[in-house]
Amino acid sequence: MKLDHGYFLLINLGMGAELLHFKPNQKLPEKAQFNLTFSDKTGFTIHFWWFGYVHLVSEKDLSKHKMTGQLGKSATDTTFTLDYFKELLTHKKTGIKTFLLDQKNVAGIGNVYIQDILFKARLHPNRKTSTLTEKEKADLYHAIREVLNRSIKLKGLAYEMDFYGEKGKFTADEFLVGYKQGKSCPQCKTPVEKIRTGSTASYICPKCQKEK
């Protein structure tokens, strides 16, 4: 958020937070750890769940800050094109899930959405980025955009709230394979499996997402 006098307010929501707008004279949430009031008496509060923070940074230090200095483009940005994504994958040799979770590569993709992104692209989370074909890169790109845009349309996960306090509508029923261990794959009816990929859990269809 750009402020006057050449400063920026950087907000990292960590593992989750409630960032809520308030009107003049409105009672503020008791659990709020941060509140900002504008000149018109409106503002917003933040209640961090885990690991979040707010930093005030000058414009000259913006490119050096740990949050913004090496942050990749948002996957929903208009400049995040297929050609840009393909170029991003060039010379990368890590697992595809590790690549997507690294905010230096792509910003804004959390573990909760990666499950269905990889399922839609028919990719195993441990698949190396260097082995992807041009078609697989395109399929992955379109899966990213489709899953994230679907979540935005539904205003986020059911346990989240938007800026004005409205609950998200992305419920457990919206997931295809994510968090559905033992349930049938919507494509081939094979039971969904839960596996470990690095330090995170992944939900896959072992038939549709074979590890090559």
Model confidence pLDDT, tens digit, residues 106-138 = 998 989 999 999 999 999 999 999 999 999 999
Q: What's the chain's average pLDDT?
A: 91
Instruction: Determine the Cα–Cα distance for residues 63 and 24; give it in Å rounded to an integer.
Output: 35
pLDDT at 13: 82
Looking at per-residue confidence, does 48 or 119 come out higher? Answer: 119
Name the band, by pLDDT with cuts 50, 70 and 90, for residue 146: very high
Pick the CATH number of 73-204 from 1.10.645.10, 1.10.3720.10, 1.10.8.50, 3.40.50.450: 1.10.8.50
Token output for 99: 């690549």
Any idea what the Cα angle at residue 145 is, between residues 21 and 92, rounded to 5°? 115
Name the band, by pLDDT with cuts 50, 70 and 90, for residue 92: confident
Assess whether pLDDT exceeds 80 at residue 69.
Answer: no
Instruction: Determine the Cα–Cα distance for residues 138 and 149; give it in Å rounded to an integer.
Output: 17
- Helix, strand, coil % in the chain, rounded to nearest 5: 30, 25, 50
Rounded to two decimals, the pTM is 0.83
Assess whether pLDDT exceeds 90 at residue 163.
Answer: no
Token output for 203: 């939900």
Token output for 110: 């959390």
The CA radius of gyration of the chain, in Å to the nearest whole number, is 19
Token output for 101: 């979770």
pLDDT at 201: 94
Domain edges within the chain: 4-64, 73-204
pLDDT at 14: 80
pLDDT at 203: 97
